[in-house]
Amino acid sequence: MPVLVTGATGLVGRALVAQLLAEGAQVRAYVRRDDA
């Protein structure tokens, strides 16, 4: 199942992305640039 995650570089978003990937989900994530 495709899932869109915003805030994927934050504490909760990072854990959520990891869990979704472990469960086999297709993940699209919006992230901040390194210089932001």
Parse the chain into domains and list their residue ranges: 1-30
pTM of this structure: 0.79
What do you get for the CA distance between the two ends of the chain, in Å?
30
- CA angle at residue 30 from 25 to 12, to 5 degrees? 70
Instruction: Walk along the chain (36 residues) in steps of 10 and give the mean pLDDT of each run.
Output: 92 96 96 78
In angstroms, rounded to a whole number, what is the distance separating the alpha carbons of residues 21 and 27?
7
In this prediction, residue 33 carries a pLDDT of 80
pLDDT of residue 36: 67
